[in-house]
Amino acid sequence: MLDLPDRRLNAYRTDLAEERLRGVVEAASYVSGSPGLICVPVVQMRARPELECGTDTELLLGETVHVLDTDGGWAWVKADFDGYVGYIPDYAVSPVVRSLTHIITAPRTFIYSGPDLKFPTVQALSMGNRIAVIDERETRGTRYFLLEGGQAVIAGHCAELGEPLGGDYVSVAARFLETPYLWGGRSGFGIDCSGLVQLSMMMTGRSVPRDTDMQAKGLGTEIDRSELHRGDLVFWKGHVAIMEDEQALLHANGHTMTVSREGLEDAIRRIGWLYDQPTGYRRP
């Protein structure tokens, strides 16, 4: 099983959102692009305001959105980072944009009730979550950042906002090895193929499209298969993989249901019998 999302409706919803932002379309509970902040670690965005509806993508704690409409416990939002539009539960967005200072750099970590690893955990966080640090403490040699209410997170699992991770984005992607595959996933708790590309590049300071078709059309430059090296992308219909070196790739995939490492030739043979050959190669 490959990541084969059909998200063409999103383009329509984006256009309609722009119309609402301009006040062209009336709505019973219209909100004129009010700024908001995602206030939960991860929230699934859906094409319709229904829990039974599949996930298009996910938004992460501290990411900013514009709230276009609210009704019946749902908020219709546009993500500032990649322009994605969809529905999320209204409790997942705060109308007040706080001043955030740091971003989580570990694939997964925890908020503790205080600055001690023996204290109870309050919440699990994902790479890409943004937090507001107000102080710091050290306990038995471990440094903690303090949050509001005295809660704490391991300082070594954070970086200051605006300071991209060192190294290349492939190293970041490799941190997600064995992370479960999740359709529409974009976090350390579960991720899909294009989400792995987007999140890994985001952590190294790059803004890239969310979906494979967008990445295949506009991310970087097209190259020949013979030119592939570390960091290049291999595309199939609805799927993308990251070259770790000239022979191996990393990808979130429905075959292993994880982020896995696989030989390029092995992947081409395995995928080809059902989904045909790669559709292109790009250097981001």
255 is catalytic: no
The strand pairing partners of 249, in sequence order, are 243, 262
139, 125 in Cβ contact below 8 A? Answer: no
Query: What are the Cα distances from residue 226, in Å, to 26, 109, 234, 281?
Result: 53, 39, 12, 10
251 is catalytic: yes
Q: Which of 66, 102, 157, 239 is catalytic?
A: 239
157 is catalytic: no
Which residue, among 156, 116, 123, has the nearest Cα to 137 in the 3D structure? 116
Q: Which of 66, 102, 157, 251 is catalytic?
A: 251
Q: How far apart are CA 250 and CA 58, in angstroms?
A: 21
Return the amino acid letter for 196: L
φ, ψ (nearest 5 deg) of residue 13:
-65, -35
Q: Which of 157, 158, 193, 229 is catalytic?
A: 193
Which residue, among 151, 114, 126, has the nearest Cα to 58 in the 3D structure? 126
Positions annotated as catalytic residues are: 193, 239, 251
